Chain A
Amino acid sequence: MSSLSLALRDSATMLRRDLRHAQRFPMMTASGILVPVIFLLLFAGVFGRALSAGLGVRPGGYVDYLTPGILVMTAGFAAESTAVTVNTDFRLGIIDRFRTMPIARTSVLTGTVAGSVIRTMLSGVFVVAVALALGFRSAAGPAAWIAAAGMFAALAFALTWLTVALGLFAKTPAGANSLALLVAILPFVSSAFVPTGTMPAGVRWFAQNEPFTPVIGTLRGLLTGGVIGNSAVAAVAWCAGIALAGYLWARVLYDRGPAAAPAVAA
């Protein structure tokens, strides 16, 4: 077998391990969904009318504006739980065992990322279902939905590689959580909740140029109509860049091994 097919086979084995963990310990996935759902309920249910009036859309129309932002947040919080899982998992002896075995070196990382992206996609479906129940209406056809799913998957993939690296980098699960939380709350300073035009100059500059804003713009354009413009290109470029940086960083940290973060005594 070629080294690529061996790598795929080992990654698939590691993916099965990761999915089995998620199945045994569903709280980790559930807690990742909880925060975006709470924000969805809070912003659509509590602030929805005031924000609809502020944006000048029909009463209750704010949920249409909000949902793409909440989706992005879902990817962020799912990635955060990945950072914690990775940090916990990788300080266990089983990872040292993998490192002494003749297997594709990064298969445990790729298996983890694949599992995490699958969980994030399921979380996204759940969040969309809640949004629909709250009155979210989309005019998008099947092609636009598929494109939106692709954008969401690309974001999940990029954020997961980044938070896998953060999980390897942090010395404790709490540290991994804090670092990844910084990623997960970035959507607050973006176009997720209100248009960037309503923000003060400095904040506006940041919000317009941070990676989540073009992703949200693309999702919003696909799901609720509106101009996508350069957003799609910028979104894909950001995702590719973040994924590559996260992958390279994670590889270096994994190769270095517990020399940087000593294995804890059992």
Chain B
Amino acid sequence: MVRALRKSFGHHLVLDGVDLDVPEGTVYALLGPNGSGKTTMVRILSTLLPADAGQVRVAGHDVADEPDQVRAAIGVTGQFSAVDQMLTGEENLVLMADLYHLGRAEGRRRAAALLDRFDLADAAKKPAAVYSGGMRRRLDLAMTLVGEPRLIFLDEPTAGLDPRSRRTMWEIIRELVGRGVTIFLTTQYLEEADQLAGRIAVLDHGKIVAAGTPDELKRLIPGGHHPSLDDVFFALTDEGRS
């Protein structure tokens, strides 16, 4: 839950009074063009950046007052690879297990299960530096899942991936939602939001310009018989005006 969130860097106002409510157990997509403030939003929600103004509660805890309780509930996979490239895939997962204090046997068991589930078992003993983009992103998400978070932030989870890796990521995300995990996803791909999300908010120049289910958003366009989300996106953001 986010109320009247503001953030600026110097004189540059990045988030200008954002309000959001993300229901538990759903996929919520924050859709917006490059530079609209999506990543800043995720960084604030995941306790990486302090907000300038407004109230932010994540998993029932205020991010400013109880960051550790928030951190215990969330997992984050950012758009920049958050794996340790010098360690192998398996070592990366065991590192996470150690930091979650899972114990040796349980940590190894969970690492092995995740390697299997993310189709990384063959590459388990190779350093992450030699992984392909898709493999690295899968390892990244697998590391996020070691702690079994209730809420997962995915900042542009498929940016830069080939279509096949993108499909694989979508399947994984759907499977997670099936297990009751809440997902907050940012994307600049309309199709991705349409495919995955139950609710979408469109962010442009630091403001939410529209929010609702994909169908509700499509109805916002007057006159169109079967508007796609692309039409909505272009109608609502600068992309369309320029």
Contact B82 A97 (CB under 8 A): yes
With contact pairs A21-B86, A94-B82, A94-B83 given, residues A100 and B48 touching in the complex (Cβ less than 8 Å): yes
With contact pairs A100-B74, A103-B99, A257-B48 given, residues A92 and B85 touching in the complex (Cβ less than 8 Å): yes
With contact pairs A97-B76, A97-B143 given, residues A9 and B101 touching in the complex (Cβ less than 8 Å): yes
The answer, among A96, A257, A259, A264, for a CB contact under 8 Å with B82, is A96
- B-contacting residues, A1-47, CB 8 Å: 1, 6, 9-10, 13, 16-17, 20-21, 24-25
Residues of chain A within 8 A (CB-CB) of B239 are: none
With contact pairs A92-B85, A257-B48, A257-B49 given, residues A265 and B99 touching in the complex (Cβ less than 8 Å): no
A263 CB-CB contact with B under 8 Å: yes
Chain B proximity mask over A247-261: 1 for CB below 8 Å, otherwise 0: 000000000011100
Contact A25 B86 (CB under 8 A): yes
Chain A proximity mask over B65-89: 1 for CB below 8 Å, otherwise 0: 0001001101110111111111100
The answer, among A16, A96, A101, A258, for a CB contact under 8 Å with B71, is A101
- A261–B86 alpha-carbon span in the complex (Å): 22
Q: Which chain B residue lies CB-closest to A263?
A: B80
- A25–B74 alpha-carbon span in the complex (Å): 32
Contact A20 B87 (CB under 8 A): yes
Contact A266 B98 (CB under 8 A): no
- A98–B143 alpha-carbon span in the complex (Å): 11
Residues of chain A within 8 A (CB-CB) of B80 are: 93, 96, 263-266
Chain A proximity mask over B123-134: 1 for CB below 8 Å, otherwise 0: 000010000000
A228: shortest Cβ distance to chain B, in Å?
42
- A10–B83 alpha-carbon span in the complex (Å): 18
Residues of chain A within 8 A (CB-CB) of B74 are: 100
With contact pairs A20-B86, A101-B71, A265-B80 given, residues A96 and B48 touching in the complex (Cβ less than 8 Å): yes
- B-contacting residues, A208-266, CB 8 Å: 257-259, 263-266
B19 CB-CB contact with A under 8 Å: no
Residues of chain A within 8 A (CB-CB) of B76 are: 96-97, 100
Chain B interface: which size bin? Answer: 20 to 34
Contact A259 B147 (CB under 8 A): no
- A10–B98 alpha-carbon span in the complex (Å): 8
- A98–B85 alpha-carbon span in the complex (Å): 15
- A262–B143 alpha-carbon span in the complex (Å): 23
Contact B49 A99 (CB under 8 A): no
Residues of chain A within 8 A (CB-CB) of B71 are: 100-102
Q: Determine chain A's interface SS by DSSP, over half rule.
A: helix
- A6–B68 alpha-carbon span in the complex (Å): 13
Q: Determine chain B's interface SS by DSSP, over half rule.
A: loop
Contact B83 A93 (CB under 8 A): yes
With contact pairs A100-B71, A101-B71 given, residues A94 and B84 touching in the complex (Cβ less than 8 Å): yes
- A266–B128 alpha-carbon span in the complex (Å): 14
Residues of chain B within 8 A (CB-CB) of A265 are: 80
B91 CB-CB contact with A under 8 Å: yes
B137: shortest Cβ distance to chain A, in Å?
11
Residues of chain A within 8 A (CB-CB) of B72 are: 102
Contact B99 A13 (CB under 8 A): yes
B47 CB-CB contact with A under 8 Å: yes
B1 CB-CB contact with A under 8 Å: no
B188 CB-CB contact with A under 8 Å: no
A92: shortest Cβ distance to chain B, in Å?
7
- A193–B191 alpha-carbon span in the complex (Å): 69
A95: shortest Cβ distance to chain B, in Å?
8
B61: shortest Cβ distance to chain A, in Å?
11
- A16–B91 alpha-carbon span in the complex (Å): 11
Contact B49 A259 (CB under 8 A): yes
- A258–B95 alpha-carbon span in the complex (Å): 22
A-B contact pairs, 9 of them (CB 8 A): A13-B95, A17-B84, A17-B87, A92-B81, A92-B85, A100-B76, A101-B71, A257-B48, A266-B79
Beyond A6-B101, A97-B143, A99-B48: 11 further Cβ-contacts under 8 Å?
A: A10-B99, A13-B98, A24-B86, A25-B86, A94-B83, A97-B78, A100-B74, A100-B75, A102-B68, A265-B80, A266-B80
